[in-house]
């Protein structure tokens, strides 16, 4: 009997270690926003917390491994803002320019003109773009101030024509699996 109990404990402990080491084996949670009427899947190691006005949200890492990956942004994986405006109206406020060919471009803080990629899913359309941006500033001992250049500021806009969700990062592009999972599972 003792041998069976020891074997069961050994198997259980090895299963826990395997699940922690292999981060691709992650339970997904459904994030539901009742106020704006949409939902999507996020990995279980993330949590979306609301800001004070219920239109601003922060997706944060909650496990030590993921917190370390996102330390540059104090554990924030992405920021999400929700508005009750159509996509075109939101983009004009966000300084996107719609060209004659129907494509959208944004002038980044580094004065680059970046074309946004059109994306769409079940009941929604949107845009995505990633650009070079400035990160935090550092003051050197000699008084010089330097800015870190980051190649991963990403903006994603998702809209059903009435509600527009903006998901953005400040310096680290969204993980491809996370991005694909949100797009695939988004429902209004």
In this prediction, what percent of the chain has a pLDDT beyond 70?
Answer: 75
Q: Considering the domain boundaries, does residue 57 fall inside one?
A: yes
Read off the pLDDT band of 12 (50, 70, 90). very low
Q: pLDDT tens across 61-113, in order? A: 999 988 888 776 777 899 999 999 999 999 999 989 999 999 999 987 666 78
In Å, what is the CA distance from 182 to each residue of 9, 39, 40, 121, 148? 36, 9, 6, 10, 29
Full domain range(s) for residue 42: 27-185
DSSP per residue, 41-108: EEETTEEEEE-TTSSEEEEEE-SHHHHHHTGGGTTEEEEEEEESS-HHHHHHHTTEEE-TTS-EEEE-
Mean of the per-residue pLDDT values of the chain: 82
**Domain count for the chain:** 1
For the ranges 41-55, 93-107, 149-163, which has the lowest average pLDDT? Answer: 149-163
183 or 95, which is more confident:
183
The C-alpha atoms of residue 165 and residue 38 are separated, in whole angstroms, by: 10
CATH code of the domain containing 98: 3.40.1000
Q: Considering the domain boundaries, does residue 12 fall inside one?
A: no
107 or 133, which is more confident:
107
């Amino acid at each position: 009997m003792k041998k069976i109990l020891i074997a069961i404990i050994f198997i259980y402990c090895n299963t826990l270690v395997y699940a922690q080491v292999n981060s691709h084996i992650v339970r997904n949670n459904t994030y539901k926003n009742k106020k704006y009427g949409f939902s999507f899947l996020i990995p279980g190691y993330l949590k979306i917390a609301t800001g004070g006005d219920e239109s601003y949200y922060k997706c944060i890492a909650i496990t030590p491994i993921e917190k370390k990956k996102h330390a540059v942004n104090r554990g924030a994986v992405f920021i999400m803002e929700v508005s009750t405006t159509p996509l075109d109206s939101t983009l004009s406020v966000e300084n996107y320019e719609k060209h004659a060919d129907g494509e959208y471009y944004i002038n980044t803080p580094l004065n680059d003109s970046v074309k946004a990629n059109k994306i769409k899913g079940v009941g929604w359309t949107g845009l995505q773009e990633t650009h070079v941006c400035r990160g935090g500033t550092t003051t050197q001992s000699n008084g010089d101030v330097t800015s870190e250049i980051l190649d991963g500021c990403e903006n994603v806009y998702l809209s059903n024509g009435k509600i527009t969700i903006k998901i953005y990062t400040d310096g680290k592009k969204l993980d491809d699996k996370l991005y694909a999972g949100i797009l695939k599972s988004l429902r209004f």
